[in-house]
A and B are shown apart, each in its own frame.
Chain A
Amino acid sequence: MRTLDPACKFVSLLCATFVLAARHDPVWNLAAFFLAVGWMLISRVRGKTMGLLLLPVLLTAAGMFFTGYRFSADGALPFRAETLHIGDSALWNGLTLSSRVLAYAGLGLLFALTTDRVDMVRSFQRRFRLPQVFAYGLLAAWGIFPQAAREYRRTKAAFRARGIRVAPMSPALLKPLLVKAVRWSEELSVAMESKGFSSGAERSEFARSRLRRRDWAALLCGCVLLPLAAALWK
């Protein structure tokens, strides 16, 4: 999965989400989720990372299950053990909603955890004609995220050093961060220009990759075979 062209991977997975949106079927959703998890494991995504990210997803899915179960058309009916079969519409409704959360989150994580962000932006720039000022602005801003998290902790530490405890995300804490964000953006743009970057200028391309068979195969699976199977599946 890591070696697929990010733009092709993105289009294929996007198509798959549309197909799942069109089907009201927990079997398909769960199949997509488990496939995504399996693929992540094959792609050597760290189990701990995946587990931590899936934890809130599983909680949301559980919440959606009970919401769907309780508020289906015949959700007012009391739960009985003998009706615990797939044909029960309340259960079916709950399963569909919760499995949908799992499927979308699984596909999203599959893309996010198996794609290098620099490769992704370069691929989007090449395949979708993304303007380079937007692409590299995005990359530079991305680089600032860890910096912003660190600055957040620094600012919090600065308050602590003055004997002031501030609530997370309090305006007092965010104000210095906003001032710094403006300063960062200025310094970063000066740094980018000093290295020769210009939004309008032509650049060479180091890793100009062609689409390979596996990329075409991913597109074929996501955009043709899957919708076809969904249309034919009863």
Chain B
Amino acid sequence: MSIRFEDLEFSYFADRRAVLPGLTAEFDAEEITVLTGASGCGKSTLLYLAAGAYPHSAGVVRRGRVTVDGEEPGALAPPERCRRVGMMFQNPELQFCMDTVKNELVFCLENIRTPPEKIEARLDEALEFCGIPHLKERALLSLSGGERQKVMLACLTALEPRWLLLDEPFANIDDASARAIAAKLRQLHRERGMGILAVDHRLDNWLAVADTVRVMEGGLLRPERMEPAGLTPETLEALGVIVPGRSYAPALAPAEPGEVVLELRGLTLSHGQNAILKGVNAAFRAGCIYAVVGESGCGKSSLFGALSGLYPYKGQALLEGRELRRLRRADLGKVGFVTQNPQDQFVSDTVREEITVGLRGDPRAGEQSEAILRKIGLWRYRDISPYLLSQGQQRRLGVAALMAYPCKALICDEPTYAQDRNNTRAIMDALCRQAREHGVALVFSTHDRQLAEDYADEIWELREGALHAYAGSGL
């Protein structure tokens, strides 16, 4: 049993260069294979093709073919296809069709014509296997990113496909949850014989479970087959992969703490009946860098969402002494936000306008935007929609757009989400330079403890609804 790509040339648009320019590869179901490589090299595209989602829903296959256990997945009807290949997507927000966890699992099992009397038992078993029976009646909207990924795994467990395709399954979740899911995947592979092909930039969570690591480069698979045990940090770094325990070695100027710019006093927030934040107190100073860490679902995104105006909160969030909810028009741009999904930041039709929109009235807006776009390598894309950029490019644009004008505080919710090592460093270097050089208070959340330790002056852990000094952060 294997997934085979035979000289596959695939492009998203007929007149654009191919993302996969003639890929030939074979992945064996006997192994758990992790595919890694730089952002934008075609890893996710490869998975979508193996899952039969492409070219049915996007793109053009110019030549070659892909087969899963000898059959083209795109030619199979969805109920048969999902028994052959199940896929866990990168974005956990848009992979569910129903309202609650139970209904989603029922939907899956009904699709594959599971006898009604067996559905309840099968869904309970899947939830039990994934360690989330307590989420059975919960609304999907109320779940954190990590919990949604676990629900998605439960759906796949219930569907019992022969192959599991995983697109950055741990990008949005903490290390403990990631390791728990990785262990479950190993169990599925061993006990139920599911072949596993995963794409990831971070290999630390895979080291204990993967059999083979393969690397993609420019849409092609490199010939080396590496065993996780034999991977040295030097090899991984050379591949542009995030290296477990290896410092990002940032070149940061020492912090010169300024005045308190942003202060949180007794901030509380609830989603329905669930109290998420129970009195968060913190002060963030100009020129300093703060990391917020914590388990999946602890409320990091809710905290950042409250500060950006997404969720109502009680208590106070003060920017230079003025309540964030009552900022004057002139102060609106004083808090910049970098969101997990860069598309959430876009407000314009073209890449260039994304930069200039914040520079209205500035006579040097044209020159300045050109300089910024050249610096981040997006000048040649200046006239296209930002939505047409690759994910890595979108992230660079999102960060650069906020640097075009001065803000007092930068709130970044997982700014390096789903980025490779080089992009992670480039993004964090740019953000931290902004903080140091312009006296901005930078607050970012991350699941990557190494990143927090390397870049942050102070690390805070969000636990039980409050911010605590993280052990080892020097606080």
Contacts and interface: CB of A to CB of B under 8 A. Distances in A.
A117 interface: yes
Contacts of A198: 77-79, 111
A150 B343 CA distance: 14
B346 A158 contact: yes
B97 A187 contact: no
Given A160-B332, A162-B357, A201 B79 contact: yes
Interface stretch (A77-85, A103-111, A175-183): A175-183
Contacts of A157: 308-310, 337
A191 B344 contact: no
A74 interface: no
Given A179-B387, A203-B111, A191 B337 contact: no
Given A140-B97, A196-B82, A155 B347 contact: yes
A191 B96 contact: yes
Given A139-B97, A195-B108, A196-B112, A161 B82 contact: no
A230 interface: no
A194 B347 contact: no
Nearest to A151: B344
Which of A155, A180, A189, A203 has the most chain B CB atoms closer than 10 A to its own CB?
A203
A201 B77 contact: yes
Contacts of B48: 190
Interface in A66-81: none
A143 B344 contact: no
Interface stretch (A10-18, A29-37, A204-212): A204-212
B336 A161 contact: yes
Chain A contact-residue range equals 35 or more
A101 B141 CA distance: 34
Contact of A143 (B96, B345, B349, B358): B96
A197 interface: yes
Which of B86, B109, B329, B347 has the most chain A CB atoms closer than 10 A to its own CB?
B347
B106 interface: yes
A164 interface: yes
Contacts of A202: 113
Interface of B: 48, 51, 53, 56-58, 77-79, 81-83, 86-87, 89, 91, 93-100, 103, 106-116, 119-120, 140-141, 155, 159, 308-310, 329, 332-337, 339, 343-347, 349, 357-358, 385, 387, 401-402, 405, 407
17 contacts: A143-B99, A143-B140, A153-B309, A158-B337, A161-B332, A161-B407, A162-B401, A163-B334, A164-B332, A176-B346, A188-B97, A193-B78, A195-B97, A195-B108, A197-B111, A207-B106, A208-B116
Interface of A: 117-118, 136, 139-140, 142-143, 146-147, 150-151, 153-165, 172, 175-176, 179-180, 183-184, 186-198, 201-208
